[in-house]
């Protein structure tokens, strides 16, 4: 099986030493003084991520954050080799324009684009963007959209009169090199069909290992029926410290820092989501736990983030070795790509990169991205020590 590829996260809605909640149709709010999502601050995170050896960084999409395309295009000039996993929704642009944007991004960034296609599961937010399709229609559109984009990136001239997508004699003048891999997630039957036919990496949120194993089996079979193979990735927060007690103390501190009423407000908004994945996330925390320990739903897997945040709602909590153990456990199931994050994202990039990722490196499961300072440190000769005896 392929070794682990690790990605970080760019909080384009702002950052904080406490949990930043909201998203997925819910207004963003921070527990503690927020850090604005300025280009300067995001550039610090990007540089920290590439320093410790992350391959890329995910940017979210939606009304609750800055536009991912524009932000990452600017950050490409502020970083050297970090790749950008750009999230976007097919309903917001034509497939021909999206294919052209991807080709342009690859050319100007030196091939640093990864694409995360988000079908969208929050009806009110979809309508705010002028998208009035129902859930099944949105998945139909995603499949047709990806069909057009892939064919354009392959150099074809494309005409499609689909159920949702209509293009005539579309063609790119310049093709992307390399072709950006397509990441995608979804837990409904229609999502499985799209993943099997069109995507390179199927992403799941951080459910317990047995549930993740079921998803992998499901998608792997659907893809095999299409004559394809799909890689698998997982989206998780991380709270890692030198000792397990210190990590769980930090989780407790994050839980205590949630403002009064924030959990109820966020959960009321998330209850309206049509996303099956979001419903699965909400089922993990029960909304009633009072301590960090109450929210440990599997060894070292903490559901506390999902109390106040849509989307990825679980975190790996523990010592560096314990977190490495859990990542290795998911890897053994078939997960090769890990999209990780932590609050605040600048400092936690170093905790994760120098802690569990370094431990995984010692086990031979992970290598820092080529060109990073972490990779250079592995190959540098031992420094001589003057006057040593």
The answer to the question of residue 263 being in a domain is yes
Q: What is the CATH number of the domain that holds 192?
A: 3.20.20.30
Instruction: Give the DSSP H/E element, type plus range, for residue 127.
Output: helix 123-128
DSSP string of 365-378, one letter each residue: SB-PPTTSHHHHHH
pLDDT tens figures, 313-323: 999 999 999 99
Number of domains in the chain: 1
Report the C-alpha gap between 362 and 318 in whole angstroms: 18
pLDDT at site 144: 98
Residue 386 covered by a domain: no
Residue 384 lies in a domain: no
Report yes or no on 290 lying in a domain.
yes
Residue 383 lies in a domain: no
How far apart are alpha carbons 119 and 114 in whole angstroms? 16
Helix H, strand E, coil C: the string for 49-84 is HHHHCCCEEEECCCCCCCCHHHHHHHHHCCCCCCEE
- Kindly tell me if the per-residue pLDDT of 388 is higher than 60: no
Residue 192: inside a domain: yes
Copy the structure tokens of residue 84. 């950008």
In a domain, 389, yes or no: no
* Structural domain span for residue 191: 5-373
- Tens of pLDDT, residues 100-151: 999 999 999 999 999 999 998 678 888 888 888 998 999 999 999 999 999 9
Query: Residue 386 pLDDT more than 60?
Result: no
H/E element holding 124?
helix 123-128
Give 172-195 pLDDT, tens digit per residue. Answer: 999 999 999 999 999 999 999 999
Give the tokens for residue 243. 């000792």
Residue at 31 is within a domain: yes
**pLDDT, tens digit, for every residue of 25-56?**
667 777 777 899 999 999 999 999 999 999 99
């Amino acid at each position: 099986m392929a070794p682990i590829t690790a990605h970080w996260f760019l909080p384009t809605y702002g950052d904080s030493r406490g949990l930043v909640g909201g998203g997925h149709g819910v207004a963003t709010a921070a527990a503690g003084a927020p850090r604005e999502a300025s280009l300067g601050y995001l550039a610090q995170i990007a540089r920290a991520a590439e320093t410790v050896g992350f391959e890329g960084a995910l940017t979210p999409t939606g009304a609750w954050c800055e536009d991912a395309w524009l932000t990452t295009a600017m950050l490409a000039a502020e970083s050297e080799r970090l790749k950008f996993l750009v999230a976007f929704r097919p309903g917001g642009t034509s497939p021909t324009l999206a294919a052209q944007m991807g080709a342009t991004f690859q050319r100007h960034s030196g091939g640093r684009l990864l694409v995360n296609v988000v079908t969208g599961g929050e009806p009110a937010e979809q309508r705010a963007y002028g998208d009035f399709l129902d859930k099944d229609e949105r998945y139909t559109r995603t499949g047709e959209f990806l069909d057009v984009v892939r064919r354009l990136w392959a150099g074809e001239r494309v005409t499609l009169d689909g159920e949702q997508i209509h293009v005539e004699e579309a063609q790119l003048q310049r093709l992307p090199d390399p072709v950006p891999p397509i990441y995608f997630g979804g837990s409904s039957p229609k999502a499985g069909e799209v993943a099997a036919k069109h995507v390179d990496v199927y992403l799941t949120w951080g459910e317990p290992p047995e549930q993740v194993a079921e998803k992998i089996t499901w998608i792997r079979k659907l893809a095999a029926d299409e004559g394809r193979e799909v890689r698998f990735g997982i989206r998780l927060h991380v709270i890692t410290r030198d000792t397990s007690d210190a990590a769980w103390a930090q989780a407790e501190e994050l839980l205590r820092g949630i403002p009064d009423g924030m959990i109820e407000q966020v959960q009321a908004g998330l209850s309206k989501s049509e996303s099956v994945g979001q419903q699965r996330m909400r089922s993990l925390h029960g909304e009633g736990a009072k301590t960090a320990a109450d929210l440990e739903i599997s060894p070292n897997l903490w559901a506390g983030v999902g109390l106040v945040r849509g989307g990825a709602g679980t975190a790996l909590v523990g010592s560096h070795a314990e977190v490495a153990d859990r990542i290795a456990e998911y890897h053994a199931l078939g997960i090769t790509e890990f999209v990780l994050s932590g609050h605040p994202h600048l400092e936690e990039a170093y905790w994760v990169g120098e802690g569990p990722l370094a431990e995984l490196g010692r086990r031979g499961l992970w290598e820092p991205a080529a060109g990073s300072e972490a990779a250079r440190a592995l190959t540098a000769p031992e420094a001589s020590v003057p006057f040593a005896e």
